[in-house]
Amino acid sequence: MAIRAAVSTDVLEVVRLAEVMFTSMGLESSDSWRGEAKRQFSGRLGRDLMVYVSDHPKVSDRLVAQAAGVIAHKSPIRRLAAPGRSRAAVMQQCL
């Protein structure tokens, strides 16, 4: 399974996989949630949001997995200034 960085055209599939994950956890989604998720993905990808995906081996434009994380440019110790230090947190993994 080849992994690659997500691009803007992956938005529908990334949101679909996230929705599958949340639904399997018993959470309900809505049109407004999907719209906001698409907006956040499109506006933040490559800035403070990184998403890695795996394409379906037989179906074009279909993903089989994704992992998303946010990047925070802050010092791990609040009182110390640390230019160039970053932290990342994994938000979701959908397989």
Count of beta carbons in the 10 Å neighbourhood of residue 92:
14
The predicted pLDDT at position 86 comes to: 53
**What 3 state SS string does 69-93 have?**
EEEECCCCCCCCCCCCCCEEEEEEE
Please give the residue range of the domain that contains residue 46. 4-94
Per-residue pLDDT band for 79 (boundaries 50, 70, 90) equals very low
Looking up residue 81, the CATH number of its domain turns out to be: 3.40.630.30
Summarize the confidence of residues 46-74 as an average pLDDT: 89
Q: Give the total number of structural domains in the chain.
A: 1
Summarize the confidence of residues 25-34 as an average pLDDT: 90
